[in-house]
Amino acid sequence: MATQNKLWAGMAKETAHQIGTPLSSLIGWVEILKTEDIDPSITLEIEKDIERLQTITDRFSKIGSVPVLEEHDITAETLHTYEYLQSRFSKQVTFSYHGTKEPILVMINPTLHSWTIENLVKNAIDAMKGKGSLDLQIEQDANHVKINVKDSGTGISKNQYKSIFEPGFTTKKRGWGLGLSLTKRIVEEYHGGKIKVLHSEIGKGTTFQILLNKKVQ
């Protein structure tokens, strides 16, 4: 198992590394394009795509290394990712937010945290077949912050609550079954928190919950 993990981590790192070279050259090309008489909205779109590729390679390069954890405002980091996803998905999915806008400090790696939110949101949207509602909730008590991602999708039966977190478990035609196992690993092993299905009802929807420890002041 350990060897296999190392192999996966190595492949992830190597992929990130290999994408890095053409990516830096693309960044250079865009700078050149910007000096030409070209519609700026075009170069802006290319820049957005480049930024997205940088996020992806950054994530892959972090797999398997001991990530650097720093003090970050979990509310702002989570909302930033959520709003980005909202802008990318169809208007058929209604995104809402219920919770604090206050800063809450947690020791995380923001690149990895954003990946966990993205995996949960993507699964939620898949589960509602592209149409429905999604609600993000952030609550806190004295020591913890709870991030709930609630969807109006197909639901998950109780006997699958455990298996969905196993690598390779998927019910999708084009799924890899990697999203939740990776999310669990990031939340539990890297960020020292917990993830679970908080509630689910067949035909009604599901709520996933990430629980993290607040930074001791």
Positions that interact with ligand ATP (CB under 6 A):
119, 123-124, 127, 151, 153-154, 156, 164, 169-172, 175-181, 206
Binding site for Mg ion (CB under 5 A): 123, 179
Hey, what are 13's tokens? 């790192």
Minimal distance, residue 171 CB to ligand ATP, in Å: 3
* Nearer CB in complex with Mg ion: 78/116: 116
Minimal distance, residue 177 CB to Mg ion, in Å: 8
* Nearer CB in complex with ligand ATP: 93/156: 156
Minimal distance, residue 100 CB to ligand ATP, in Å: 23
Euclidean distance between CA atoms 73 and 24, whole angstroms: 30
* Nearer CB in complex with ligand ATP: 168/192: 168
Minimal distance, residue 94 CB to ligand ATP, in Å: 16
195, containing H or E segment = strand 194-201
Euclidean distance between CA atoms 149 and 73, whole angstroms: 18
Cα angle vertex 195, ends 190, 199, to 5°? 170
Q: Are 65 and 190 in contact (CB under 8 A)?
A: no
Hey, what are 41's tokens? 């909205």
